[in-house]
Amino acid sequence: MRAANDDRIHISAAGVSADIDPFGAELCVLRDSEGRDLLYDGDPRWWTGRAPLLFPIVGALASGAYRLGREAWRLPQHGFARHSLFNVEAREPDSVSLRLRENEETRSVYPFPFQLDVTYAVAAAALSVQAAVTNRGRRPMPMALGFHPAFRWPLPYGGAREEHELEFEVPEHGQVFRPDGDGLLIGPRRMPVRADGRLPLNDDLLADGAIVFKELASQRVIYGVRGRRRISVDFAGMPSLGVWSKPRSGAPFLCVEPWQGYADDAPLPGDPPKPHDLFNKPGMIELAPGQRHAFGMQVSLLEA
C-alpha cells in the first residue's frame, strides 16, 4: 500500500523538490522553489495515481493475457511495478535509488527473474528519473517500461486551462491511436499536432481518451502556456508517448507519458481478441541473460 507522508522519501535542490513513495517507486510530489505543486495530488475523485511506473508491459493486453509458447499468462494493464513495494538501496539529500526483484507474486504473472532499479535525482530546477532493467535469468526476457507523470492542468503559473499546449521538439507527421473501452488501441487517426509542432490542449481533444503516438520523432515536449514558466519533459531513447486526462470529469491533470511499448491493438469487428506471444508483442524489448537496459526521463522548469 502507499506510504504515509512520513514514510515518503524527500529530496531537494535549489530549484525543485520531490517526494518518492517506495510503494511503486512512485513520484508523488514535485514542487518548485516557491513550494508550488507541479504534480497532480492523486485526488480519488478523478484518479488515485500521480506518476506510476509501468513495467513489465505498457498498456492493456488483448483479453488481459499474453502467451509464452502455448501457455497463457494473465497480467493487468501497465504491469505490476506500480503495485509493488521497492527496497530503498541508497539515499542522499538530493537523490534516492530503489530496487524491485522478482518474488512469488511477480512470478505468478511474469515468470522471469529480473531487477528493476529506479533512481530519482534533483539538481537546479530539474528532476531526473533513471530506470534500468536487468535480466537475472538464464533465458531471454521480454519487457517494456513507461513513465506516467500527471502534471497540474492548469499549471500554477497563470493562464487558463485552454491556453495550455504541448510543444513538440520537431513536427510530427505520423498517425495517432486511441484506446477503446478495454484499453486496446484503435486507429490510426489523423495527427493532431500542428505543422509548427504545437498541440493546443482542450477538453474536446481528450474527450475520447488518451492520444497514443506509437512512433514519435520528438524526444522532448514542453508543456504549459507560452510566455509563462513551462515544464520540459525530455525522454531520449523512449520511442512512444501517451497524452491522457479525464476532461469530461474536469480532472485537473494532464499525463505526459514517455513509453517503451504500448497497448495491444483492438481486434477487428467480429474477431475475438488474441493474446500476443510476449516475445512478439510490438514495442517490447528482448533482454539476453545478464543484459541490462536503461531508460530515462528528465522534467525541467523553464523560465518564461
Pairing of strands 9-12, 285-287: unpaired
Total domains in the fold of the chain: 1
Quote the cell numbers at residue 103: 518474488
What confidence tens digit (pLDDT) does each residue in 204-245 have? Answer: 999 888 999 999 999 999 999 999 999 999 999 999 999 999
Q: What is the CATH number of the domain that holds 233?
A: 2.70.98.10
Q: Is the pLDDT of residue 1 over 60?
A: no
* Rounded Cα gap, residues 126 and 299, in angstroms: 6
Q: Which residue has the cell 520537431?
A: 170
Q: Using one digit for the tens of pLDDT, what is the confidence trace for 87-121?
A: 999 999 999 999 999 999 999 999 999 999 999 99
Strand ranges of the sheet holding 220-224, from the earlier edge strand across to the other edge: 87-92, 95-101, 114-123, 126-135, 292-302, 230-234, 220-224, 165-168, 198-200
Domain limits for position 288: 5-302
End-to-end CA gap in the chain: 39
Give counts: helices (H), strands (E), the chain: 1, 24
Neighbours of 106 (CB within 10 A): 22
- Residues 11-33: what's their mean pLDDT? 98
Q: What is the mean pLDDT of residues 68-86?
A: 96
Q: pTM (2 decimals)? A: 0.96
Tens-place pLDDT, residues 36-53 = 999 999 999 999 999 999
Q: How far apart are CA 137 and CA 101, in angstroms?
A: 11
Are the C-beta atoms of residues 197 and 213 closer than 8 Å to each other? no
Compute the Cα dihedral for 153, 197, 32, 91 and give only its sign.
positive
Supply φ then ψ for residue 21, to 5 degrees.
-95, 125
pLDDT (0 to 100) of residue 271: 84
Q: What is the mean pLDDT of the chain?
A: 95
